Structure 1
Amino acid sequence: MKKTYLLISIAIFTLISCNKNDSNTSTNLLVGTWKYTEMYADPGNGSGVFTPVTSTKTITFDATGNVTSNGSLCDMSTASNASSTGTYTAATNTLIPTSCPNTTIIYELIGTTLILNYPCIEPCKAKFIKVP
């Protein structure tokens, strides 16, 4: 009987400890400032590649789900002369710019690289690196 209670206790403890929300981990990695470094635009034949951009555009994610940028969040523009804001959800890897609320941008976080996947007919992406 003691073994049964012990096994049930271990099972419950294991389930509770494994039910950790991984979005907190990805949020912590995402929080900070990111600099725009490359863009990807495919002409429709699969030949698109990331190419370097010259830009001072940055995106900053805070721990509460807010995003700010010194450029437009709605597109892959390299301009950094206008502020924009938005929100993000780490659980779904989505970003919604305030100035274009019907637009949802899917992001990928790969180490110190952030890729924004814009809703284009052909693939179009913006690559950012984390600013130390």
Structure 2
Amino acid sequence: MNRRIRGPLTLLVALPWLLVVPGCARTDPPPPPEVRGGQPDRGATLIARYGCGSCHTIPGIDRANGLVGPPLTHFGSRSYIAGNLVNNADNLQHWIADPQAVEPGTAMPDLGVSAIDARDIAAYLHTLE
């Protein structure tokens, strides 16, 4: 093929790909909003008290090395909770307090977590980035 034609033809073929590829670039979601009034230190204590570590691996919690549920490492950087809720303070507190209302039949048990305890647990989990 003639060199004069090949240069423009190559650009014409490559141009659509150059326009599409940047649109596929993964951008990190913004961090979850701070849990207002939440006490992460108290949340860590509550996570141990409610036994969350028997099912989940949770950084910073002694003996929290469960393999039943997903590991909660980097939880604050995640986009979703349970695969269908946007990871924000309100949704996480709802999930912790009443997982069956969010996803009926989920393996996550209803542990009777109060609203205040759920707030503090959520505050701790959102520190895990």
Q: Which has the larger radius of gyration?
A: 2
Bigger helix share:
2
Bigger strand share:
1
TM-score by length of 2: 0.30
